[in-house]
Amino acid sequence: MSLTIFITICYIISSVLFVIGLKRMSSPVSARKANQLSAVGMLIAIVATLLTRGMMEWQWIAFGLAVGTGIGILAATRVAMTSMPQMVGLLNGSGGLASFIVGWAAYHYQPESSLLTTISTYLAVLIGGVTFTGSFIAWAKLEEKFVTGKPILFAGQKIVNSLLLGALIVGGIIFCLHPDPADNYPLFVAIMVLSLILGVMVVIPIGGADMPVVISLLNSYSGMAGAATGFVIINSMLIVAGSLVGASGIILTRIMCKAMNRSLTNVLFSGFGSVTKKAASEVKGEAKAISVKDAYYVLEAARSVVFVPGYGMAVAQAQHAVRELGKILENNGAEVRYAIHPVAGRMPGHMNVLLAEADVPYDQLFEMDAINPIIDTIDVAVVIGANDVVNPAARHDKSSPIYGMPIINVDKAKTVFVLKRSMRSGFAGIENELFYYDNTRMVFGDAKETVQALIAEFKSV
């Protein structure tokens, strides 16, 4: 068997493993094995690529592998689950930066190329640059470092962004028609700089509440940048892998937008989160607090309980305590479920990952569309750190920025416990009228400590 045929077979095997892994990622039951399959596929692809290039400078390859492996292990073991959205954002940005640098290097060292390669180089730099700086800003907004998590808006912002995009399109056309570095290297550098600026400009007007959508979109961008880079360096495996990431990211973005009943255009350009939140005095009713002991009495008598987690559960690291309380309630004769909103948390699947970490049975996880039809039969709904995804204003208040967004209708349960530190609004900065409903009781305090106190009450009997 020739080396070329062997490498082609390796690429085919890798592609199949990627597709199977991506498919199996759709279920929590098979997600871990899916990651392992994809990792094996990537290893095979890397080895085959090194064989294609004759092992190149193996010292640098070994150095890169060692550094990358070290960073990956450190991140996997040290990064808290609350910081996972930020980590995903940085990983997206790293992919964009890699494509950006490869496109630059290819043009710098191999300027003589076909029109297809020239166009691919332009796209790799453009999409890679936008992905890199856009992901960095998304990380900064989530971490609330350097920039605020709220939208940053200024007069004429859309005009500025349109001019930037127009300049990049016109510059790209000129560059692709005349790519000779002797004439247009300054133009290429200008395209690189403008792409980095555009990445910043398109993300700063987006509010923190829309970060799940932004992260999935940037993930798609990183895949498209990778696919473009594959055409630059003529690597079919990179084209396949990038296309898979790009397509899956777009599909996930569409799912996220549908879950919020908003278009992608609205997410990117509406400045959601910059609105003034409603004052508590405008919401009818009065918030009613309840002690842990009184909450215990209600839960002890409940025959059906649904937990609705949000980012507050991640912050409090309460998932293991919630799982323990769920077991106790099951032993007490209650039917326990966990309801997950598609955009709960700060990245797609954030709550699913947390609950999987706590070994919550997969058959107890219910999506929004599955739990809403039976929510009125639930004795107690326990909202743990969720806010905007359970706000009834989304159903009837046309003045609310989240009007029309599908929510988990916890207000229709017989009793609702809301575990929060205070009456502060959620990440979107919107007052939650659920807190003032007659069937709602506020249990103030750290979510983990509150759940552990409830567990102690059950165990003291």
The DSSP line for 199-256 is: HHHHHTTS-GGGHHHHHHHHHHHHHHHHHHHHHHTT-HHHHHHHHHHHHHHHHHHHHH
pLDDT band at 284 (very low <50, low <70, confident <90, very high): low
Mean pLDDT throughout 247-254?
A: 88
Query: Which is more confident, 307 or 54?
Result: 307
Tell whether the model's pLDDT for residue 418 goes beyond 50. yes
pTM (two decimals): 0.79
Task: Give 40-80 as a DSSP string.
Answer: HHHHHHHHHHHHHTTT-SHHHHHHHHHHHHHHHHHHHHHS-
Q: Are 29 and 362 in contact (CB under 8 A)?
A: yes
How confident is the model at residue 272, as a pLDDT?
54
User: Would you please indicate which residues are annotated as catalytic (active-site) residues?
Assistant: 388
Type of residue at 122: Y
Closest CA to 427 of 211, 205, 147: 211
How confident is the model at residue 420, as a pLDDT?
87
- Looking up tokens 């300054």 gives 186
Alpha helices in 53-156 (DSSP H): 58-78, 84-109, 115-143
At 202-225, the pLDDT tens digits run: 888 887 667 778 888 899 999 999
Q: Which of 50-59, 146-155, 380-389, 448-457 has the lowest mean pLDDT?
A: 50-59
Q: Which of 241-250, 270-279, 429-438 has the lowest mean pLDDT?
A: 270-279
How confident is the model at residue 285, as a pLDDT?
67
How confident is the model at residue 55, as a pLDDT?
54
CA distance linking residue 41 with residue 54, whole number of Å: 20
For the chain, give the percent of residues with pLDDT over 70.
92
Tell whether the model's pLDDT for residue 278 goes beyond 60. no
Closest CA to 202 of 135, 261, 255: 135
Can you tell me whether residue 181 is helix, strand or coil?
A: helix
How confident is the model at residue 277, as a pLDDT?
47
How confident is the model at residue 1, as a pLDDT?
67
Pick among 3.30.1490.20, 3.40.50.10490, 3.40.50.1220, 3.30.980.20: CATH of 280-460: 3.40.50.1220
- Looking up tokens 């029309």 gives 404
CA distance linking residue 68 with residue 269, whole number of Å: 36
How confident is the model at residue 209, as a pLDDT?
67
pLDDT band at 456 (very low <50, low <70, confident <90, very high): very high
At 148-186, the pLDDT tens digits run: 777 788 888 889 989 999 999 999 999 998 888 777 889
Mean pLDDT throughout 411-432?
A: 81
CB atoms within 10 A of CB 117: 18
How confident is the model at residue 205, as a pLDDT?
86
Mean pLDDT throughout 438-460?
A: 91
Mean pLDDT throughout 178-197?
A: 89
- Looking up tokens 């292990």 gives 73
Mean pLDDT throughout 111-123?
A: 86
Q: What is the DSSP letter of 385?
A: B
How confident is the model at residue 56, as a pLDDT?
58
CA distance linking residue 407 with residue 423, whole number of Å: 20
Task: Find how far residue 93's CA is from the centre of its chain.
Answer: 13
CA distance linking residue 189 with residue 100, whole number of Å: 12
For the chain, give the percent of residues with pLDDT over 90.
39
DSSP 3-state percent helix, strand, coil across the chain (nearest 5): 65, 5, 25
In whole angstroms, how far apart are CA 394 and each of 253, 261, 401, 433, 457? 21, 10, 8, 10, 35
CB atoms within 10 A of CB 188: 22
Q: Which two tokens stand for residue 456?
A: 């102690």
How confident is the model at residue 398, as a pLDDT?
80
How confident is the model at residue 98, as a pLDDT?
93
Query: Which is more confident, 449 or 47?
Result: 449
Tell whether the model's pLDDT for residue 268 goes beyond 90. no
**Domain boundaries along the sequence of the chain:** 1-78, 81-269, 280-460
In whole angstroms, how far apart are CA 257 and each of 131, 142, 396, 418? 20, 19, 20, 26
Closest CA to 232 of 113, 64, 127: 113
Q: What is the DSSP letter of 147?
A: S
